[in-house]
Amino acid sequence: MPDVERLPSRHIGTGALVLALLALASLFVGVVDVNPARLLDAATRDEALAALVETRIPRTLALLLCGASLAVAGVIMQILARNRFVEPSTAGTIEAAGLGMLVMLLLFPGAPVVVKSLVAALFALAGTGLFLRLLRHVPPHSPLLVPLTGIMLGAVLGSTTAWLAYRFDMMQALGAWRNGDFSLVIAGRYELLWGAGVLGGLAYFAADRFTIAGLGEDMSRNLGLDHKSTVALGLTIVALVSALVVSTVGSIPFLGLVVPNLVARVLGDNLRQTLPVIAMTGAGLVLACDIVGRIVVAPYEIPVGTVFGVVGSGLFLFLLLRWTSDAA
């Protein structure tokens, strides 16, 4: 029998190595030729170094922060909703954040990005709260109705956002939010994502509280946990992460759904042990999809949201079919 306590550490080491290799590859893939030889050559050093510092490093850091934070937000939402097929893009959270961003652009176009992100977070929090309220009317023995409810709520919010964008000639901005794209990430335009990384770290310190809260309100009270405050903390983290990602690079569908499920199949459901692996897996998948998007149609790019939408939907169907066969 393998040593269960050592499994997470071993996976963390392997994941860190793979993540480092992907991050290194990300620094040297793109339209501008950046490689060690050009960095060492005095004739090309300045140009290559400028591209590395101004675009490649910020882009790689943004990919890492988005992938890790969205994966963490997904597992928190799954625990609080007590359903493995829930995440921000299947619960109306992302769509609500996009609606908040559009409202701010229409009413206060000159507001700072931080203010727009905070308002988007409030909309995301309201959308997530509405989703959880709707779950009270979903039969507990029909878990597949939970993501369907979230998808329908997201469709309603998305349709409202699209109508407003069409009405006020904002469709181009709406398209940017709906599809995660890192091609415009440069130094000075991604720093808000460090806030998402901090929120992911906060989730790690509250991992045990979230695990207990996922047992239900009655069980949480019996174990001495303030269930409402823990749920509020989790929803706040999810809303803020969603808003920061949407306002900076757009949405990446299915990431927060498939990553926690894939990790849980290997390491189980101990959130304290698996959360670092979930964060690294999310970051690694986003990095890999971004590299693929930069290579397949070079010198053009396919947005990460499109690439991962294809990969994530396939993984989602795989998990859905496996869940159905296991339940049978």
Interval 255-287: pLDDT, tens: 888 888 888 888 877 788 888 889 999 999 999
What's the structural domain count of the chain? 1
Burial 98-126 (b: 16+ CB within 10 A, else e): bbbbbbbbeeeeeeeeeebbbbbbbbbbb
pLDDT of 121 higher than 80? yes
Q: Considering only CA atoms, which of 183, 201, 286, 193 is closest in space to residue 244?
A: 193
Please give the single-letter amino acid code of residue 289: C
Q: What is the pLDDT of residue 128?
A: 86
Average confidence score pLDDT of the chain: 83
pLDDT level of residue 288 (50, 70, 90 thresholds): very high
**Average of per-residue pLDDT across 91-111:** 87
| 225 domain-assigned | yes
CB 239 within 8 A of CB 121: yes
pLDDT digit string, tens, across residues 13-69: 777 888 999 999 888 888 878 878 788 878 888 888 888 888 899 999 999 999 999
pLDDT of 109 higher than 90? no
Question: Residue 166's domain spans which residues?
Answer: 7-327
| 12 domain-assigned | yes
Q: What is the pLDDT of residue 143?
A: 67
| 1 domain-assigned | no
The pTM of the full predicted model, rounded to 2 decimals, is: 0.86
Q: What is the pLDDT of residue 325?
A: 58
| 52 domain-assigned | yes
Q: What is the CATH number of the domain that holds 287?
A: 1.10.3470.10
By the 10 Å C-beta count (0-12 exposed, 13-18 middle, 19+ buried), 56 is classed as buried
Q: What is the pLDDT of residue 4?
A: 43
pLDDT digit string, tens, across residues 177-217: 677 778 888 887 788 889 888 988 888 888 888 888 888 88
| 63 domain-assigned | yes
- Which distant-in-sequence residues (6+ apart) come within 8 Å of 215 by Cβ? 223
| 2 domain-assigned | no
181 in helix, strand or coil?
coil
